Every structure is written in C-alpha cells, then in structure tokens.
Structure 1
Amino acid sequence: MLPTTNFAPPFTITRASHVALSVTDLAASRDFYRDVIGLVVTDESDDVVHLRGLEESAHHSLVLHRAEEARALRIGLRVRTDDDITAAERYFAGRGIDHERVEVPHQGPTLRFRDGVGTHIELTSSMEVVPRRMAAFHEFTAGAPQRLDHYQVATHDVQTATDFWAGLGMRLSEYTAKDGTDELWGTWMEVKGNTHDLVFTNGRGPRLHHFAYTVPDATSLIHAADVAGSLGFGDEIDRGPGRHGLSNALFLYLRDPDQHRIELFTTHYQFIDLEDEPIRWDVSDPRRAQQWGMPASRRWFFEASEFPGEPVREPLLTATPATLEDYLALH
C-alpha cells in the first residue's frame, strides 16, 4: 500500500547527513576511503577518523570508529534547527519511542533513536563548518566524491518502514512492488528534492546495505574503478559501472576492508513538484536496478552491515529479484 506523506511533520528533516561505521583496522579503512574512494580526511585520532566529500562544508559525513567488530553504528539525518531536535524529543516521547540526547564531537544538538523497523538513526541540527574543497581540483583523487546523498537499508518490513518515514515528511519518489500489486518490496523516499535520501528494500534486516556519494560525472566513476584496480581493490568492486532504472543514475559499488558497501553515482533527477507521482516498478523487471548489462550478484542483494545489538529478522515478503547467478544459470 502506498504511504500518505505528512506535509506538516512534527519536525523538519532536511537531508541525509552522515554515517558512522565501526571498523577493525582504522588505518586500512582510512586509506581506503581517502585513496580508493577519494574522500577528504577532516581529522583523525588513534580511535576515530572523520571524512567528508569535496563539496561539503560540514565537518564530516563519514565517521570511522576503531572496534573489535565491524558494524553500521548509525545513519544520520539533518534537521533544520535546534528547535526541531526538541520537537523530535517531544514527538518520540508521546509515542513511546526510545530516544536519547547525546553529545557528539563537532555536532550541535544530537538525538539518537530507532525507527519503526529498528534502523539506528541520529538526528543533528548543526555541525562545525570547515572549508569546502570543491574548487581544489588538484586534490581530486579516485572518484572525487562531492557529497553524501542517501542510504539504503534492508528491512524485514518495507511497509512499516515506509509508513514511519512518510509520517515524518518523506515523499515516495519511486517504488518496487510485487508483480501486479502495490505490495511494497522497495521504497525510495526523499526530503531534499531529488529521488531519495532513504531507501528501504525487502530483506533480512535491519541492516545497512550502502551509503552513497555523488561524483562529478561518468568519467569519475571509471577513474574510481581504475584506481581501485591499480591499488589492489579490484575484487572489491561489488557492482557496476552501470545505470539504474530507479533514479536514472550511473553507479559503481565498492566494499571497504570490513565489507561495508559504498556507492559512487552521478546524481539523479529532481523530485520537487508536488504533482509528481511516484514511479512504479515490478520486482521482476530487471531494468529497475540495471538498465543495461547483467543483474547484480547474490552478495550485492543479500549481504549488508548489521547494526550493533539489533536483532536481524527474516523478511515478510518472499518475492526476490533475479541475481547474476540466476542469469548465468539460464544463459
């Protein structure tokens, strides 16, 4: 069933903001995201590294924490003002949703909670400002990622996840449904005026499937793949280059040393005007995920990063897309 967006939400979310990961070898992960991906290291210590895209003035969009186990710690969203943090606390308290105000370095007022399907979320209203590097072309390396754009989360219950976020003001731009129905298999939801900030797809979850950065152009994707190969990470190209039907973007997916997945992509189309209707795709239609070429592998569809201490549930829907292995078995 398609959700109804709340156009007067209890607080105002503005965009995808930052993601925090735990990694088992901090130096190796820093080198990967700096040298293979092309992010900027804002600062680092023995236990934490903060990175950002070249276009970003916010202190960080990726935080790496040294740990014994690799996990997706949380995904971050920005709200417009400090008052929105207070409004979020009031909203969650009124609905019995556990939440916690926390102090986070380089961030303003910050609130943590779990959404309706257990995704670990962090809201913040501000962040320390640092110089943008978008005109420092001599510093562009690998894919030259510009800014964090969105997340994809695997969930056992796409409908519940979608309804939760629609109630907080997110709009549905595209969706995948079980063939011939509006039984939701995947939903692409946005607040910033392009096709998605937050995606939910059917699967064992909650788990973070990937986080994504925009790149300047298609050449940047090819260069990122070449750099990954030359630095010995060619086997960590998880999918692509290719073009999605959903969002119409060119893409490249890579896995870091702990197998967290990052996407580099050319940015997608606008979805601003309220008369725009969401685009529907059958789950059996391979063009939704890949306009040309072969489908993704099983590991792309079924592997993802767990959130710490969060039980992983089996999906409610049994419909699954065809994988590369399925394709090769038939050809």
Structure 2
Amino acid sequence: MLPTTSESPPFTLTRASHVALAVTDLQKSRDFYRDVIGLVVTAETDDVVYLRGLEEAVHHSLVLERANEARVQTVGFRVRRDADIVAAERYFTERGVWHRRLEKPHQGPTLQFRDAVGSHIELTSSMDVVPRKMQKFDEFVGGAPQRLDHFQLVTHDVQSATNFWADLGMRMSEYTAKDGTDELWGTWMEVKGNTHDLVFTNGRGPRLHHFAYAIPDASALIQAADVVGAQGFGSEIDRGPGRHGISNALFLYVRDPDQHRIELFTTHYQFIDLETPPIRWDVSNPRRAQLWGMPASRRWFFEASEFPDEPVREPLLKATPATLEDYLGVH
C-alpha cells in the first residue's frame, strides 16, 4: 500500500547527512577513502577519522571508528534547527520509540533512535563549519566525491519502514511493487528535492546496503573506476559502471577493506513539485535496476553491513532476483 506523506511532520528533516562505520584497520580504511575514493580528511585521532566531500562545508559526512568487528554504527540525517531535536525527543517518547540524546564531537545537539524496522539512526541540527574544496581542482582524487547524498537500507518489512518515514515527512519518488499490485518491495524516499535520501529494499535486515556520494559527471565515474583498478581494488568493484532505471543515475559500487559498500553516482533528477506522482516499477522489470549492462552479482544483492547488537530478521517477502551468476550460468 502506498504511504501518505505527512504534510505537517513532527520535526523537519532536511537531508541525508553522515554515516559512521566501525572498521578493523583504521589506517587502511582512511587511505582507501582518501586516496582511492577521493574524500577529504578533515581530522583524525588514533581511534577516529572524519572525512567529507569536496563540496561539503560541514566537518564530516563519513566517520571511521576503530573496532574489532566491522559494523555500521549509525546513519545520520540533518534537522533544520535545535528545536527539531527537542521535537523529535517528544515525538519518540509519545510513541515509545527508543532514543537517546548524546554529545558527539563536531556536532550540535544530537539524538539517536531506532526506526520501525531497527535501523540505527542519528539526527543532528548542526556541525562545525570548514572550508569547501569544490574549486580546488588540483586536489580532486578518484571520483572527486562532492557530497553525501543518500543511504540504502535492507529491511525485512518495506511497508512498515516506509510508513514510519512518511510520517516524518519523507516523500516517495519511485517504488517497486509486485506486478499488478501495490505490495511494496522497495521505496525511494526524499526530503531534499532529488530522487532519494533514504531507500528501503526487501531482504534480511536491518542492514546498510550502501551509502552514496554524488560526483561531478560521467567522466568522473570512469576516472573513479580507473583509480580503483590502478590502486589494486579492481576486484572490489561490486557493480557498474552502469545506469539505473530507478533514479536515472549512472553508478559505480565499490567495497572498502571491511566490505562496507560505497556508491559513486551522477545524473539523477529533481523531485520537488508536490503534485509529481512517484514512478512505479514492477518488481519483475529488470530495467528498474539496470537500463543497460549485465545484472548485479549475488553479493550485491545479498551482502550488506549489519548494525551492532541488532538482530537481523528474515524478510516478509521472498525474492529470487536474477543475478550475474545466473546470467553466466555459474552455480
């Protein structure tokens, strides 16, 4: 069933903001995201590295934390002002949603909570400001990622996840559904006026499938693939280059040293006008995921990063996607 987006949400979300990853080799991960992907190191200690995109004026959009086990700690969203953090606390208290206020370095008021399907989410209203590097073309490395754009989460219950975030003001730009029905298998939701800030897809969850950075153009995508290969990570290209039907984006997916997945992408469209309906895709239509090229591998479909101390549930809907191995006859 299609959700109804709240026209007066309890607090104001503005965009996907940041992600924190637990990594097992902090230096190796820092070097990967700095030298291969092309992010900017803002600051680092013995236990934490903060990175950002070239266009970003905020202190960080990616946090790497030293740990014994690779996990995704949390995915973050910005709210408009401090009062929205207070409003979120009140809303979650009234509805029995687990949450806690905490102090985070380089962030303003910060609130963590778990959504309806167990995803670990963080809200903040501000961050320390740093110089943009979007015109430091001599410092562009890899795909020259400009800004963090969205997250894709895997969930056992797409409908419940979508309803929860629609109540918080997110609009659905595109969705996949069982042929001839509105049984939701995947939803692309946004608050900032392009195709997505948050995606939910059907599968074992909650898990983080990927986080994504926007890059300048198609040539940057090819440059990124070349640098990934030249730096010895060619086998970690998980999918692409290719073009999605959903969002219309050109994409490249790469796995980091702990197998967390990052997407570099470009050319998605605006979704601003309120009267614009979401685009529907039958789940059987392969063009939704790949307008050209071969299908994704099994690991792209079935592997993702888990949250700490959060049980992973089997999906309510059972799927058997066509994979690259199926296409090649590999078993």
Q: What TM-score, normalized to structure 2?
A: 0.99
Unaligned runs of 5+ in 2: none
AA aligned opposite 1:294: M
Contact 1:19/1:61 (8 A) holds in 2: yes
Segments of 4+ moved more than 6 angstroms: none
The residue number in structure 2 matching 1:144 is 144
The residue number in structure 2 matching 1:24 is 24
Query: In structure 2, the residue corresponding to 1:36 is in which secondary structure?
Result: helix
- Residue 255 in 1 paired to residue 251 in 2? no
Unaligned runs of 5+ in 1: none
Alignment of 1:22-171 (within 5 A): 22-171=22-171
Query: In structure 1, the residue corresponding to 2:10 is in which secondary structure?
Result: coil
The residue number in structure 1 matching 2:228 is 228
Distance in 1 between residues matched to 2:17 and 2:9, nearest whole Å: 19
The residue number in structure 2 matching 1:313 is 313
AA aligned opposite 1:234: G
Distance in 2 between residues matched to 1:325 and 1:53, nearest whole Å: 34
Query: In structure 1, the residue corresponding to 2:240 is in which secondary structure?
Result: strand
Query: In structure 1, the residue corresponding to 2:329 is in which secondary structure?
Result: helix
User: How far is the alpha carbon of 1:272 from its aligned partner?
Assistant: 0.4
Distance in 2 between residues matched to 1:226 and 1:268, nearest whole Å: 22
User: How far is the alpha carbon of 1:329 from its aligned partner?
Assistant: 2.5
User: How far is the alpha carbon of 1:325 from its aligned partner?
Assistant: 1.4
User: How far is the alpha carbon of 1:123 from its aligned partner?
Assistant: 0.1
The residue number in structure 2 matching 1:303 is 303
Distance in 1 between residues matched to 2:222 and 2:60, nearest whole Å: 25
Distance in 2 between residues matched to 1:73 and 1:101, nearest whole Å: 16
Which digits, 9 at most, give the CA deviation of each residue in 1:31-58, with x for residues without a partner?
A: 0000110000000010000000000000
- Residue 180 in 1 paired to residue 216 in 2? no
Distance in 2 between residues matched to 1:329 and 1:175, nearest whole Å: 29
AA aligned opposite 1:30: R
Distance in 1 between residues matched to 2:130 and 2:269, nearest whole Å: 28
The residue number in structure 1 matching 2:280 is 280
Aligned sequence identity (%): 80
The residue number in structure 1 matching 2:6 is 6
Instruction: State the superposition RMSD in angstroms.
Output: 0.8
User: How far is the alpha carbon of 1:321 from its aligned partner?
Assistant: 2.3
AA aligned opposite 1:132: R
Distance in 1 between residues matched to 2:295 and 2:283, nearest whole Å: 13
Distance in 1 between residues matched to 2:53 and 2:217, nearest whole Å: 15
Distance in 2 between residues matched to 1:235 and 1:325, nearest whole Å: 16
Which digits, 9 at most, give the CA deviation of each residue in 1:160-184, with x for residues without a partner?
A: 0000000000000000111221100
Distance in 2 between residues matched to 1:123 and 1:84, nearest whole Å: 9
User: How far is the alpha carbon of 1:267 from its aligned partner?
Assistant: 3.9
Distance in 1 between residues matched to 2:38 and 2:52, nearest whole Å: 9
Q: What TM-score, normalized to structure 1?
A: 0.99
Alignment of 1:204-219 (within 5 A): 204-219=204-219
User: How far is the alpha carbon of 1:323 from its aligned partner?
Assistant: 1.1
Distance in 2 between residues matched to 1:286 and 1:294, nearest whole Å: 10
AA aligned opposite 1:127: M
Query: In structure 2, the residue corresponding to 1:320 is in which secondary structure?
Result: coil
User: How far is the alpha carbon of 1:320 from its aligned partner?
Assistant: 3.3
